[in-house]
Amino acid sequence: MDERYKTLLQRFVASLIDGAVLSPVTMTTTLLVGYGPRPVAIAWLTCTFPVAWAYTAYCHGRWGATFGKRIMEIAVVRASDEGPCGYRAAIRRDSGAIVLGVLYTILLIQLVSSEQTEGFRIFSPPAALEYDPEAPPSFLQIYRDTLHAAFPTWQMVVIAVLGWLWSLAELATMMTNRRRRALHDVLGGTVVVKTGRPGGTGPVHGVAAPPAQRPASETTNALRTGGRPRGW
């Protein structure tokens, strides 16, 4: 395998960095859903996912890399010729995450509307987890009650399972091809490569161009005469 495609560790660390970049949005969402006024929480939820998605789509389309990828010296490029990714490919690349994100946002709005938000109250335990000190619960009961607080409806369970399955499909796809293209790379027609330098300024962030191919006629003529093409 070409060394430029060995990006699994870099992609993982880049995702953690991007998660830290978006953490103010994530934390604000958790606090508003758990404690905020209902109209404010719903208004915020309608904006949160578009902002998070626009961050990745714009960065990939404009520069070929998010902030995390720039730090880890990797970039998203076209799989066909390793040219700049572009916005269309960036959007196609995120299509799976967009579908799951929209469904999850709709369900969160439903939870806020029905006031089933105990699982988001991080500074106070849900009522289901307040037990009698004289009758301590079993581990299985705590586990079951915690899951119910986190996923109060069957729709939330379905979305969570779909998210896990999507992640497994991503990993399985990435590990079964030579260029380590994940499922979203296949959808977008992209591949992630090492750039060799942090924070490149071009759309492809300093990705080295493939070796120049010599004209076929020159190579063919050399083989016919038993010699070598010029420059070899």
Distance in angstroms (rounded) separating the CA atoms of residues 229 and 215: 10
**Residue type at 147?**
L
The answer to whether 40 and 221 have CB atoms below 8 angstroms apart is: no
Q: What is the dihedral of CA 218, 222, 223, 224, to 10 degrees?
A: 100
Q: What is the DSSP string of 37-62?
A: -HHHHHHHHHHHHHHHHHHHHHHHHH
Query: In this predicted structure, what is the pLDDT of residue 11?
Result: 95
Kind and range of the H or E run holding 194: strand 190-194
Q: How confident is the model at residue 68 (pLDDT cuts 50, 70, 90)?
A: very high
The answer to whether 84 and 73 have CB atoms below 8 angstroms apart is: no
Distance in angstroms (rounded) separating the CA atoms of residues 152 and 148: 5
Radius of gyration of the chain (CA): 24
**Tens of pLDDT along 119-178?**
676 666 555 556 666 676 777 776 676 667 666 677 778 888 888 999 999 999 999 999
| pLDDT average, residue stretch 101-107 | 89
- Residue 216, classified by CB atoms within 10 Å of its CB into exposed (0-12), middle (13-18) or buried (19+), is exposed
> What mean pLDDT value characterizes the chain?
80
If DSSP codes are grouped into helix, strand and coil, which group holds residue 192? Answer: strand
C-alpha angle 183-187-190 in degrees, rounded to nearest 5: 90
Choice among 33-42, 56-65, 110-119, 183-192 with the minimum mean pLDDT: 110-119
C-alpha angle 88-194-164 in degrees, rounded to nearest 5: 65
- Crossing angle of helices 23-35 and 8-21, in 10° steps, is 50
